[in-house]
Structure 1
Amino acid sequence: MTTSQAQTALPTTSKALCAVYGVIAAAALIATWSQNVAYLDNPGRFLLHFFIDSKVTPASRSLTVDIVLFFLAAAILMVIEARKHGVRYVWAYVVGGLLIAISVTFPLFLIARELRIGRADPTRLSTVDTALLALLAVVAAAVTIWVDMV
């Protein structure tokens, strides 16, 4: 990074994007671990019981496979993007995804990536993209609340 890049302020769009990623990571941490605590009564068998339960119904098997394969794609993307843009500690995000939740660590990685590239290549979205992503966020929040709390 050159001196002029280091002195350039992060654009508002990049700051907003980082804030959105932060909210997603926080919501994911709360939503996943509010359910994971059910398995902490026997910490030595946490993973065994967790994975047995992830195979109980066709829906849970579908979601489990979906998340595992998304995790793989996200890990590949994180390593490639980290090497391309100089994001440090990429394997901490991958391992954190295994130990905490990929829905927590992937947005955290995206924050680190945006902080590296946002000054040089700020994110630009069309109005349609912004509106559709906002709608998707509302639907994701509603489903998360429905699954986690109702």
Structure 2
Amino acid sequence: MTRNWNPLALVYLGLSVAGLIGTWTYNILSISQARDYLGDWTGSGPSVSSLTVDLLVTAVAGSILIIVEARRLGMKRAWLYVVLAFVLAFAFSFPLFLAMRERHLAATRMLPDLPPEQLSKP
């Protein structure tokens, strides 16, 4: 059962469990208080806390993915996407990273087979 569980997979699994526990703690609180779950998003209440935990855990997992994937592909300045997530929004920086990743992958497909360290050189 412990096959193929590298440290990064365990970090993602831990974030998954934190996301489940964090969001459902507030979801159960919202249900037990008979709150208007969607209505609370515009006001305040447990659903706002659930949404906050949801977005925070997603942003942390996505930021780790950005750094790891960018290093694996030899993309430069990956840290900038993480900074943009905090300065602007993760909803902006993560799709931007995915777009740049696809662009990088398309460019590397056009090149002959070179090691990743040579692909990132000008």
| TM-score with structure 2 setting the length | 0.51
5+ residue gaps, structure 2, are: 1-40, 111-122
Answer yes or no: is 1:88 the counterpart of 2:76: yes
Quick one: structure 1 residues 97 and 63, their matched pair in 2 at CA, closer, same or farther if it must change by over 3 Å?
A: same
Indicate the percent of aligned positions where both proteins have the same amino acid. 36
- In the aligned structure 2, how far is the partner of 1:69 from the partner of 1:57? 19
The structure that has the greater radius of gyration is: 2
Quick one: structure 1 residues 61 and 113, their matched pair in 2 at CA, closer, same or farther if it must change by over 3 Å?
A: same
Please name the residue that 1:74 is paired with: 62
Deviation at 1:56, TM superposition (A): 2.9
Q: Report matched runs for 1:1-150 at 5 Å.
A: 56-119=44-107, 120=109
Superimposed CA distance per residue, residues 98-136 of structure 1 (whole angstroms, 9 cap, x where no aligned partner): 111000000111111111113529xxxxxxxxxxxxxxx
Deviation at 1:55, TM superposition (A): 9.5
- In the aligned structure 1, how far is the partner of 2:58 from the partner of 2:88? 15
User: What amino acid sits opposite 2:57 in the alignment?
Assistant: L
What is the total number of aligned residue pairs between the two structures?
69
- In the aligned structure 2, how far is the partner of 1:86 from the partner of 1:108? 17
Taking CA–CA contacts closer than 8 Å with sequence separation of 6 or more, which of the two structures ends up with the larger relative contact order? 1
- In the aligned structure 2, how far is the partner of 1:54 from the partner of 1:90? 34
5+ residue gaps, structure 1, are: 1-52, 122-150
**Where is the helix percentage greater, Structure 1 or Structure 2?**
1
Aligned-CA RMSD value: 2.4
Q: Which runs of 4+ in 1 moved over 6 A?
A: none
